[in-house]
Structure 1
């Protein structure tokens, strides 16, 4: 059983209002996505890395991989119009490269501060249960809209978990799920992801450890938080 990382770097990030895709923004002389790839490069359980990358940036990513010694970066392929399509592209690409019981770790390329302990736990939980999703407690109050201005219902916080990436799945189950989902149009909307699709297909998911530092870089504010966290880390 080996572990392969499937990193999503296929979006452009319009909300960032930059001239380059946000995953390639330069942070302290290093592209954002390289911080992400370094975490997987360092982890002893990750054997190879596949990046699903925005068109026109494949060669740049390959060059950055050489520059920053990302030796596990094995493959770079094109993404789709949504995250789900990009993950599906990655899964289909791995069909002849992974065994049924290999582990595929899916992660957003714009979550650059994934910690080793988080990766270790999601892989270990997947070995035990067949899948694992990074999770954290939900500490805010959630109310259900009655209309745009009122509510009379809330969801108790102890029933909620925040989930993000990394997520890990046995390849055989992941391959089956994406074939079924896209052939039957189940869990394939623009807002769907591997975890929500699995639940839509009737699968049970297992929680793994998360971290508040594992932020997703979506806006300029997120970028400022990342820079502050990197300064603290140094």
Structure 2
């Protein structure tokens, strides 16, 4: 079984709105629903779990019914941090998924998700046990001097770098075991850590899957404008 765990537990303060950014309406449809529609339409995804910001669970269920998200099977409460929210989603499937089932973790505010990206992250995970969506890094990266932060004399070759985002996929048994170990020992769960960085800190080797430049995270009002422009030009799921 392939199950999408969609993370929608954050407030999104940088968006400058009075409601959580995943519930902002774009063309009379919440951002989160666009994301869920990508998994609803994908033939290899059999079920969806949403980790939802506390107090919005019933609203989410109402929207899912309105927009035909029939694969939504479970809604769990988000945590205080991103890693706590993902952990809640992973723990919420314990006893439901088998060790070999695939859990696909995705940010609820990345609504421009191509079917091909989902397909490839599942393919790579089936082969290697995990998969992280990635793209080459096309900008030059320089390291700030410790003695003078306005200067640099060192760079990192961009050929050695990859940009990694969601979706990410993991065999469920290893994912569950990893989150239990991470939270028990305080490994890879603080600050900006996500599942991928946690896994690396736990000693896992990750495998790259295909990504897409348009699969951006809606964090600022400018990102929201980009999404509106994308819908206007593509007619995608609208």
TM-score (norm 2): 0.97
User: Counterparts of 2:183 and 2:56 in 1: how far apart (Å)?
Assistant: 27
CA-atom RMSD in angstroms: 0.6
- SS at 2:168 equivalent: strand
Report what 2:233 is aligned to. Answer: 232
Report what 1:220 is aligned to. Answer: 221
Report what 1:17 is aligned to. Answer: 16
Map residues 1-234 of structure 1 onto 2, 5 A cutoff. Answer: 2-147=1-146, 148-234=149-235
User: Counterparts of 1:150 and 1:81 in 2: how far apart (Å)?
Assistant: 37
Could you tell me which runs of 5 or more consecutive residues in structure 1 were left unpaired when the two chains were aligned: none
- Measured against aligned partners, the alpha-carbon deviations of 1:169-209 in whole angstroms (never above 9, x if no partner) come to 00011011101111111101121000000000110000000
User: Counterparts of 1:154 and 1:88 in 2: how far apart (Å)?
Assistant: 36
User: Counterparts of 2:57 and 2:129 in 1: how far apart (Å)?
Assistant: 32
Q: What is the Cα deviation at residue 64 of structure 1?
A: 0.2
- SS at 2:89 equivalent: helix
Q: What is the Cα deviation at residue 151 of structure 1?
A: 1.3
User: Counterparts of 1:37 and 1:91 in 2: how far apart (Å)?
Assistant: 18
User: Counterparts of 2:73 and 2:139 in 1: how far apart (Å)?
Assistant: 40
- Measured against aligned partners, the alpha-carbon deviations of 1:31-80 in whole angstroms (never above 9, x if no partner) come to 00000000000001111100000011100000000000000000111011
User: Counterparts of 2:122 and 2:66 in 1: how far apart (Å)?
Assistant: 28
- Measured against aligned partners, the alpha-carbon deviations of 1:150-176 in whole angstroms (never above 9, x if no partner) come to 211110000000000000000011011
User: Counterparts of 1:182 and 1:20 in 2: how far apart (Å)?
Assistant: 30
- Measured against aligned partners, the alpha-carbon deviations of 1:72-122 in whole angstroms (never above 9, x if no partner) come to 000111011111111111111111110000000000000001100000000
User: Counterparts of 1:20 and 1:190 in 2: how far apart (Å)?
Assistant: 24
